[in-house]
Amino acid sequence: MIVEKLTIKNKTGLHARPATLFVETAKKFKSKILVEKEGKKVDAKSLIGILSLGVEQGQDIVIHVEGPDEKEAFEELKRMIDSGLGEGE
């Protein structure tokens, strides 16, 4: 299991387009992926769940990944977050 805190860098946070990209990427993997903000955990493969967190620029999230492809899933999601989720930083 991988549990790691990451900071959202892009200007719009995890809203609309970047959240959709995040969810679509999470769905590629078999592993169970959760996103946590301030103690609330949601399924990373649920757009409604991700949007319900209201993550804004500069806020931290914790990603929990467990399953057969957890390392690959975490690395790809981390890379996306670090690069601004398609919007740059």
The residues annotated with a catalytic role in the active site are 15
Question: CA neighbours within 13 Å on the CB side: how many for 61?
Answer: 29
The set of residues, in sequence order, having a beta carbon less than 8 Å from that of 6 and lying 6+ positions away, is 60, 61, 62, 63, 78, 81, 82
> Nearest Cα to 46, choosing from 66, 32, 58, 60?
32
